[in-house]
Structure 1
Amino acid sequence: MTASIPLPLLLRRIEYQDEAAFSEFHGVTSPLLKAFLTRMLKDAWNCEEVMQDVYLYVWQNAAAYSPVRGTPLTWLYTLGRSRALDSWRKNKRSSANVEFDDYISGNAAFVVRGEIADVWSHDRIRESVALLPPARKQILDLAFAEGYTHSEIAAATGLPLGTIKTWIRSALGQIKGMMLPGQPGQGIKSLPFAA
């Protein structure tokens, strides 16, 4: 579909809440934006959600468009890309809650945030985590219960990123060792980083 009025003029009319202009703008640009976002997100639900956010922004902030900075489609793609990345980060963060036993075994089954309490309720995991130094417990809680990325944990704790990664890896290794048949916590005191 081709616009009967140039897109920059439609945006100017949208500034004044012209519903007909918005409808035409949406009709012309939505197939293009949808194709662009579908390639980025690969998920129809997220794509529709992002498109809704973009067009709501256009309706409320059409005056933010500046022809000096590019065409209306470039502006729309930029808005879409920004919101798609936000959506991807949000979904990535919520899927960062991994069950410890699956993570340790290498299955890395993802769970929703509400189910993380079930993970911590596993007796052997709780016993194993209880034997970790307090700093390691805090780091694991931020990573798995709160869904923080390694960088966010480093910023929150003031520790170097490399230290965070090492502590998480070593704590998971300790838990894995304690999860093996035998007494939980057996041998943890012999590890040099168990302080």
Structure 2
Amino acid sequence: MTPRDALVDALQRTANGDRAALKYVYDSTSAKLFGVCLRILNDRGEAEDVLQDVYLTIWRKAAEFDPTRASPITWVATIARNRSIDRLRSRGSRDMRPLDDAFEVADSSDGADVMAERSEDARRIEAALASIDPKAAAAIRSAFFEGATYQTLAARAGVPEGTMKSWIRRGMLSLRSKLEAA
């Protein structure tokens, strides 16, 4: 069963009141949906609140999901997006100040030197990832850059969860040795 099919099945079981199915939906999608909420709201606390509301909505409306019209991840991501936008709208209007007040606001962003250092670090990490086992590198990228769980990664690769954990652990050890040598 593909991860998509498993998610479709879990949403259909959720529609019948299966709490374990909702837990599967949560475990499979929460990292991605939290990212959607956080990107829109730009506030961790609000994103967490909205994410809870998203799963309540999924619980109540799972029967409305139609796998012939949308993929399961698209359906749940749309709910997250809409709930986040609703939260933005409910904030109401903001206190507006004159444009000239902007000159008094300090720029808290990192300087060019810090950004250049981060860019160099990113290049070193990418080079190290390219030099290790491709399966481990792909799993590490998905786990650490996309927030995918061991369970999700194992399902994608069609391997047991323990095997996926081993790939990532060996890959991380290899990655560390490459970065320390560089």
TM-score, length basis structure 1: 0.46
Question: Which structure carries more relative contact order (alpha carbon 8 Å, separation 6+)?
Answer: 2
Determine which structure has more spread, i.e. the larger CA radius of gyration: 1
Structure 2 length-normalised TM: 0.49
More helix by share: 2
